[in-house]
Structure 1
Amino acid sequence: MTDDDATALLRRMMAAAIEAADPAAVLAAHLPEKPTGRCIVVGAGKSAAAMAQALETAWPDVDISGVVVTRYEHAVPTKKITVREAAHPVPDAAGLAAAREIMETAAAAGEGDLVIALISGGGSSLMPMPVAPLTLNEKIIVNKMLLSSGLTIEDMNKVRRRLSLVKGGGLARAVHPAKLVTLAISDVPGDDPAAIASGPTVPDPTAGEDLSPIVDRLGPDLPHVARSILLTPTKEQTPFDVDYRLIATPQLSLEAAARVAREAGLAPTILGDALEGEARELGIAMAGMATWIARQKAPSSPPAILLSGGETTVSIGGKKPGRGGRNTEFLLSLAVALNGHANIHALAADTDGIDGTEDAAGAIIGPDTLARAQRVGMSPKHHLVRHDSYTLFDATGDLIRTGPTLTNVNDFRAVLVR
């Protein structure tokens, strides 16, 4: 297998992973029975508009109306469902206006109506509705702190649910007593409904939990109002009936990529769809696994593929960071650890097409990555320390730019050992 063959195969696997989560391909199979009356649609997330379009296509003869919110530049044409756009990953006023419109639409549903909630990753920031007296500006401050805190997505969602009127079942309570069906695309470890977009249609399982350790972790810059709300446990929520349907998950996307690998004659190993931790540390660990396979021919003989998903973190600390997301940081760490290993290639990307806040989904590395970086005046170790992986891969031409994919099953990582 040549270097070009390895690169092409990695790209085909990534394409298969994204296609397996395309709402146009998967949503219709998970719809409930068609309603005899109105179908009211609400929702939020990077895939919300694409999901709304797929629903309209599947049910052309149903009385459908409603509103969803998606990220800027993620809207697609719809005929019956209104699509709003807002900011991600930091909320803005457009998101607050959309959240209010969505809650009003949900509350207008009657007992004989069917409400379908279309939920996907990114919905948390796209649908902000802070608990009073917390303001939107204070919520934005908290959100920025969370993004740079190094907290796990689970702990971040504990904070987001407690500070919101929509999350942690708020949207479901607005819909009652109408029938509610949630169609969701998972972007979180374990596919926990309470974590996907911070669970707007399921009860908050941590409502009564003591969040003081998380508050301490966020530090003294946390707005006073937010601190007060977070340190006041809410009452345990009364369970309510939940018809929650996962239409796409990280595991299904990894399995689709594995099929491509097998068709190419490689032995794929899925390490898991919920790998977490610091991106650079995972890069070092993955380098160790790949070199072990190359050297020991175990647990499978090359050519082999290591596949994984999940969401790593990048802890910035007090330093002013460069440009980059968790996938490019993972890859730069992996490349440094591999030190030009002749038989290992890798790809890592966010399946939504945007790694962090940059315009690339991720990047791809090979045996010559470090040498090419040095030829253009880049020090890989220096850029890794500065969290400046995007800049390096942009200079080497290794960034992967897909544009918005209109789906999101979190990160996709593939390490190929020839």
Structure 2
Amino acid sequence: MRPAIRGLAARAGRVSLASDPAKAGGEDLIADIAASTSRAASRPVRDDLRTLFDTAVHAVSAEVAMPRTLPISAHGRTVVIAVGKAAAAMMRVAQARAARPLEGLIVTRYGHLPPQGTAGPGVEVIEAGHPYPDERSVTAAAQVLDMARGLDAGDRLLLLLSGGGSALLAAPAPGLTLDDKQGVTRALLQSGATIAEINCVRKHLSAIKGGRLAVAAGPAQVTTWIISDVPGDDPSYVSSGPTVADTTSLAEAREIIAEYGVQVSPQVAAALANPANETPEADTLGLAGVETRVIARARDGLVAAGAKAAELGYQVMDLGDQLQAEARHLGASHAALARRLAKDGRPRAILSGGETTVTVTNKSGRGGRNLEYLLGLAIALDGAPGISALACDTDGIDGTEDAAGAIVTPDTIARAKAAGLDPQRHLDRNDAYLFFEELDDLVVTGPTLTNVNDFRAILIGSDE
């Protein structure tokens, strides 16, 4: 059912583990393991966890990911529009590497502007709402569409796209209001639906998503560079693919609404039944010729973090960058894996990425998917010695709070109980943020100005 969406399901990497170190390489290997154990145990585990996260974030930063040469129109105008949580950083790098001054627009989340300045002459900045669109999102979408419609043959639109654009650009389909879009977005985000499912619905309620921005650009050349925050890195799902041909349908959008029991307004129901809101077909509207390139993805961050973990003395298990599951359940599953691997005493790093989901039962709760993952993991570990973990969103914001994520150590549950906290109650109430805040275990980075979604690391071999 819904193969275009279900194809983004979770995958886990596989590794082979030698059961007998002597058989796998003899005494030299045993000596190597002993040396690695000593190196890993000689540093605070919190430092190692933060080092791995920082390494992953740097690997997917605009400075590292952006190509050195920009596609500048030889004979016409080049308009650059940067949208998403990495928009300001991507535009800054583009301006530094451009052969001549650029004109364009930055659309990003409130607070996601670099302290050293955002843009030079000719580039405007709009900050808008996320994860829920606001009036500024509507203004931004209208301005982006106007800029695209003003392009001629020989001109080029360079779209620098990163996660968050689905909320930052809100152009309700005819007959819909911003309130309609906000209501659907809120209900879907709280339902446990995946980002692919949510964006499928968004595309069919929009005048800019699902390839419609490329259509608006008409005869101009359209190039899109993407920092991907979706499992599987399908460009049509990043920020709901404003310049990328859509493979989903109105029927699938209606099915998603029904599956998750989302209550929609009569206007939204009518829009999802209106054939006019079907997304453009690539072969009939020229989208097949649009150039699209994913320049950074979660895999890049995991590879960099894996290399750093090995350098720090850990044996690395990479579970992949496409894990999708209910956050608390994935945390419990990873706790069981860590317990098994901890039995041989080797220092190990279990790394993973992707995007979990949270089914919200307490709408006044405070938390995010990484915090729910960690609380589920901590409860399942129940103080198991030598196992610590970090889970953070690479954009620096987990959900709607000010933390990127948090850290779990072997004494997390004991410290919580000593402080009068009930871990299971906090999890049941979707209050993981308050739990980790009370323990002073939140990871607060501020906006990182990039976004490839979640980064998780479990380190085995330190009791801290």
What's 1:21 paired with? 60
Structure 1, unmatched stretches of 5+, are none
What's 1:312 paired with? 356
Distance of 1:41 and 1:26 partners within structure 2 = 17
Distance of 2:458 and 2:396 partners within structure 1 = 19
Equivalent AA in structure 1 for residue 310 of structure 2 = R
Distance of 1:35 and 1:342 partners within structure 2 = 62
How far residue 226 of structure 1 moved from its aligned partner, in angstroms, is 0.9
What's 2:426 paired with? 383
Query: Per the alignment, in what secondary structure is the counterpart of residue 380 of structure 2?
Result: helix
Does residue 292 in structure 1 map to residue 340 in structure 2? yes
Query: Per the alignment, in what secondary structure is the counterpart of residue 104 of structure 1?
Result: helix
Equivalent AA in structure 2 for residue 227 of structure 1 = A
Q: Cα–Cα, structure 1 residues 405 and 226, in superposed 2: closer, same or farther, change >3 Å?
A: same
Contact 1:207 1:236 in 2 (8 A): no
Equivalent AA in structure 2 for residue 139 of structure 1 = K
How far residue 231 of structure 1 moved from its aligned partner, in angstroms, is 3.3
More moved, 243-252 vs 62-71: 62-71
What's 2:378 paired with? 335
Contact 1:184 1:247 in 2 (8 A): yes
Query: Per the alignment, in what secondary structure is the counterpart of residue 365 of structure 2?
Result: coil
What's 2:21 paired with? none
Q: Cα–Cα, structure 1 residues 231 and 214, in superposed 2: closer, same or farther, change >3 Å?
A: farther
Equivalent AA in structure 2 for residue 306 of structure 1 = I
State the TM-score, normalized to the length of structure 2: 0.86
What's 1:396 paired with? 439
Does residue 53 in structure 1 map to residue 92 in structure 2? yes
Distance of 1:106 and 1:236 partners within structure 2 = 16
What's 2:6 paired with? none
Structure 2, unmatched stretches of 5+, are 1-39
State the TM-score, normalized to the length of structure 1: 0.95
How far residue 275 of structure 1 moved from its aligned partner, in angstroms, is 0.5
User: Which has the higher Rg, Structure 1 or Structure 2?
Assistant: 2
What's 2:80 paired with? 41
Counterpart selection for 1:163 from 194, 205, 221? 205
Contact 1:43 1:102 in 2 (8 A): no
What's 2:34 paired with? none
Contact 2:370 2:405 in 1 (8 A): yes
Distance of 2:294 and 2:42 partners within structure 1 = 37
Distance of 2:262 and 2:79 partners within structure 1 = 43
1:176-218 Cα distance to aligned partner (Å, 9 max, x none): 2111110110000100011000000111111354433212134
What's 2:255 paired with? 213
Contact 1:67 1:105 in 2 (8 A): no
How far residue 4 of structure 1 moved from its aligned partner, in angstroms, is 5.4
Does residue 350 in structure 1 map to residue 389 in structure 2? no
Q: Report matched runs for 1:88-237 at 5 Å.
A: 88-207=130-249, 209-219=251-261, 221-233=263-275, 234=278, 237=281
Counterpart selection for 2:113 from 75, 92, 100? 75
Contact 2:200 2:252 in 1 (8 A): no
Counterpart selection for 1:62 from 100, 107, 128? 100
Contact 2:246 2:279 in 1 (8 A): no
Distance of 2:198 and 2:214 partners within structure 1 = 21
What's 2:413 paired with? 370
How far residue 235 of structure 1 moved from its aligned partner, in angstroms, is 6.7
Query: Per the alignment, in what secondary structure is the counterpart of residue 253 of structure 1?
Result: helix
Does residue 259 in structure 1 map to residue 311 in structure 2? no
Query: Per the alignment, in what secondary structure is the counterpart of residue 319 of structure 2?
Result: strand
Number of equivalences: 412
Counterpart selection for 2:449 from 400, 406, 418? 406
Distance of 2:43 and 2:433 partners within structure 1 = 22
How far residue 36 of structure 1 moved from its aligned partner, in angstroms, is 4.8
How far residue 268 of structure 1 moved from its aligned partner, in angstroms, is 1.2
Equivalent AA in structure 2 for residue 17 of structure 1 = A
Equivalent AA in structure 2 for residue 359 of structure 1 = D
What's 1:269 paired with? 317
Query: Per the alignment, in what secondary structure is the counterpart of residue 126 of structure 2?
Result: strand
Contact 1:39 1:63 in 2 (8 A): no
How far residue 174 of structure 1 moved from its aligned partner, in angstroms, is 1.0
Distance of 1:43 and 1:287 partners within structure 2 = 39
**% identical aligned pairs:** 44
1:110-140 Cα distance to aligned partner (Å, 9 max, x none): 2111210011000000000010101111111
Contact 2:204 2:253 in 1 (8 A): no
More moved, 230-239 vs 201-210: 230-239
Contact 1:14 1:412 in 2 (8 A): yes
Q: Cα–Cα, structure 1 residues 116 and 381, in superposed 2: closer, same or farther, change >3 Å?
A: same
Distance of 1:211 and 1:194 partners within structure 2 = 15
Distance of 1:82 and 1:279 partners within structure 2 = 38
Query: Per the alignment, in what secondary structure is the counterpart of residue 82 of structure 2?
Result: strand
Query: Per the alignment, in what secondary structure is the counterpart of residue 232 of structure 2?
Result: helix
Equivalent AA in structure 2 for residue 291 of structure 1 = R
Distance of 1:89 and 1:409 partners within structure 2 = 16
Contact 1:254 1:307 in 2 (8 A): yes
Detail structure 1 runs of 4+ shifted over 6 Å in the superposition: none
Contact 1:208 1:236 in 2 (8 A): no
More moved, 231-240 vs 328-337: 231-240
How far residue 83 of structure 1 moved from its aligned partner, in angstroms, is 1.4
More moved, 31-40 vs 337-346: 31-40
